[in-house]
A and B are shown apart, each in its own frame.
Chain A
Amino acid sequence: MTEFRVVAYNDLRSEDAVVADVLNRVCGLPLADAVALTRQIEVDGKATVGLAATRADAEVIAARMLGFGLRPVIERNRA
């Protein structure tokens, strides 16, 4: 059950490789997913990059992303 999601917003003009690197290596996403989500962030302006059962877990993901200059927003999954 994933109560929370972490959405990455494209408000920082980081190089795509930096975004993909952070999603892959820092957030632990498989490389193919990290690259696909990086493209989605660029095209759509945002993408859900993490799902978490608890708010604390979502905050860990968000904090890692913030540390590298990305902009995550924690949202509650609607039923």
Chain B
Amino acid sequence: MATPAYETHEHDVIVIGAGGAGLRAAIEAAAQGVSVGLICKSLLGKAHTVMAEGGIAAALGNVWPEDNWQVHFRDTMRGGKMLNNWRMAQLHAQEAPERVLELERWGALFDRTQHGLISQRDFGGHRYARLAHIGDRTGLEMIRTLQYHGIHQGIDVYMECNVQRLLKDGDRVSGAVGYWRKNGEMVVFKAKAVVLATGGIGKAWKITSNSWEYTGDGHSLALWAGADLIDMEFVQFHPTHMVWPPSVAGLLVTEGVRGDGGTLKNNKGERFMFNYIPEFFKGETADNEAEADRWYEDKKNNRRTPDLLPRDEVARAIRSEVKAGRGSPHGGVFLDICSRRPADYIRKRLPSMYHQFKELAGVDITKEPMEVGPAQHYVMGGVRVDADTTQGTVAGLFAAGEVAGGMHGSNRLGGNSLSDLVVFGRRAGLHAALYAKNFGGQLVADAGQVDAVVRECLEPLERAGGENPYAIQADLQETMHNLVGIIRKEAELKEAFKRIEALKERAKKVRVDGGRVYNSGWHTALDLRSLLTVAECSALAALERKESRGGHTREDHPFTDDAWGKLNVVLRLREGRVQVSREPLPEMPAELKALFQERK
């Protein structure tokens, strides 16, 4: 065999992605005594988890002793409009408290109750104040805790390494091929098991809270390796982001603002959310301002403020207000906490929000309302996994966090993402390690597969062609923004599909100069492949689901349809084409169904 032009590493388990899920998976796999490689697209500690603000949902019962996993489970399922994988939602609600306490034992300093326990805050769709938090920088504390715990667990960390393709040995995943950003050299990982923890797909949209890393890498790696994706039509447009100045459009404004007493208002000063309470949530939502305001202090005798309806409901309401001409000067609505809470309280509870508006928009949120509007934030869809083990439909492949589908159904509740990361990150690490231990075969990396990936990766540097990768990315973002946004319809989705096909053709002619060393243009060119893949998947699934539910609203099918409520849209790559099918949801057992009959 010729000397390979790339370095090779071997591990029992490799984890791709080093946010909350990836770090937690790597820590757990290492605890099982197997050799672990953790591959980060950026430097360690910079992953998207760092941006999470409001908190981590867990029924600790520190603030409201009435809270328990059943209530959290019920809130999660209702927030997802019952399309969630019930078993994932159950495991999540049951295990989140222990995962939060574990973070505390590893050094996380959560804000405290007056009795010295972990404090919890209100958030949309959660019946009780449930989010453990550190001001409004919970994600930073979480990733730093996992990072500094992780570096002492004997994990090999590969920073600024971009995985481009998974390797297969027959029907089984056997490793991955990537490149080092710092020098552009290719690198091969041989592994018995692979955990995907790559996050989401937000960079396919123009206005998003997601960073450059969110190009759907894990979704695409899984699809290309033959695994199923589910629920790709469900994209969360979080209702509150900065809308001005233009350069910060899409910067997240935490739901914690509303959890801590902030309210949404239109340009007439009306708290418009009272006009948008859907039938499904009427029983548990206050229909007048006095009751909504009392709810913050007395949850027993009052119903929740409609400002804290699930995110899909609030995002649609804001869009309607703006469309009706009742928006703010820069095309959003007003979010007012200054008239409702003292300045000191705001600065203590929401320090990053204060800082962010002050520095980037020149707005003092203790004195003026914020202008906010919806932006792409999260994808509910992802790799179809077994709830208990997180294993995908291809052997040796596991997935946790945003890249996995099913947990959140059609809409994720705020705070359920950070808990998802650690609950299923741990499960992924555990089961990947067990799989690796039971796997008796040889570690193999098929040279033919590796060479093909290497060739494909180097093409943009070598081919003749004139397409600029940034221009293709911008055109895709425009397409998804305009045609696969908050409100969809058939003609537009078909048009989106056509445009994505055209962009795929242009991407084949993308050309970058400047060599392989930390070449941002080359990196952008390579990311286009996964970005176009997930854009296509999302548009295809959105076209298939002919109803409106959660993060998928069809203008031409505006109602929720019970028949669709029993189906997942499943995507799989066969003979070079993405196939779409409708498959039944797992059936919830009777004792859990009973939880939904208790109260409306």
Asked whether A and B interact, the reply is: no
| Chain B interface residues (CB < 8 Å from chain A) | none
| Chain A interface residues (CB < 8 Å from chain B) | none
